[in-house]
Amino acid sequence: MKKILVLGAGMIGRAIVKDMAKYYEVNVIDINKDNLSKLKNQERVKVIKSDATDLKSLKKYSSDCNLIISAVPGFLGFEVLKKIIKCKKNVVDLSFFGEDAFELDELAQRNKITVVVDCGVAPGLSNIILGYHNSKMKIDSFECMVGGLPVKREWPYQYKAPFSPIDVIEEYTRPSRIVKDGKIIVKEALSDVETITVEPVGELEAFNTDGLRSLLKTMKIQNMTEKTLRYPGHTELMKI
Residue pLDDT, tens place only, 92-127? 999 989 999 999 999 999 999 999 999 988 999 999
pLDDT at 160: 86
pLDDT at 231: 96
pLDDT at 161: 82
Report how far apart, in Å, the C-alpha atoms of 235 and of each of 113, 123, 155 are: 41, 20, 14
Residue 111 covered by a domain: yes
Query: 53, 85, 116 — which closes off a domain?
Result: 116
> Do residues 96 and 181 share a domain?
no
Q: Name every residue whose Cβ is closer than 8 Å to that of residue 163 and which is 6 or more positions away in sequence.
A: 10, 11, 12
> Do residues 86 and 175 share a domain?
no
pLDDT at 165: 82
Label the pairing between strands 115-116 and 91-93: parallel
Query: 59, 88, 116 — which closes off a domain?
Result: 116
106 CB-contact burial (10 Å; exposed 0-12 / middle 13-18 / buried 19+): exposed
Residue 122 covered by a domain: no
The CATH number of the domain holding residue 80 is: 3.40.50.720
> Do residues 143 and 222 share a domain?
yes
The CATH number of the domain holding residue 165 is: 3.30.360.10
Q: How many domains does the chain have?
A: 2
> Do residues 107 and 140 share a domain?
no
Report how far apart, in Å, the C-alpha atoms of 133 and of each of 9, 60, 78, 148 are: 34, 41, 29, 24
> Do residues 101 and 40 share a domain?
yes
Residue 85 covered by a domain: yes
Q: How far apart are CA 50 and CA 48, in angstroms?
A: 6
Residue 27 covered by a domain: yes
Residue pLDDT, tens place only, 154-181? 999 999 887 778 888 988 999 999 999 9
Task: Give me the average pLDDT of each 10-residue run along the chain (240 residues).
Answer: 94 95 97 94 94 95 96 95 97 94 97 95 93 95 94 91 83 95 96 95 96 94 97 94
pLDDT at 214: 94
Domain that holds residue 191: 136-239
Q: How far apart are CA 210 and CA 225, in angstroms?
A: 9
Residue 121 covered by a domain: no
pLDDT at 40: 86
> Do residues 12 and 110 share a domain?
yes
> Do residues 98 and 200 share a domain?
no
Query: 116, 148, 168 — which closes off a domain?
Result: 116
**Full 3-state SS string of the chain:** CCEEEEECCCHHHHHHHHHHCCCCEEEEEECCHHHHHCCCCCCCEEEEECCCCCHHHHHHHHCCCCEEEECCCHHHHHHHHHHHHHCCCCEEECCCCCCCHHHHHHHHHHCCCCEECCCECCCEHHHHHHHHHHCCCCCCEEEEEECCCCCCCCCCCCCCCCCCHHHHHHHHHCCEEEEECCEEEEECCCCCCEEEEECCCEEEEEEECCCCCCHHHHCCCCEEEEEEEECCCHHHHHHC
pLDDT at 16: 96
Residue 130 covered by a domain: no
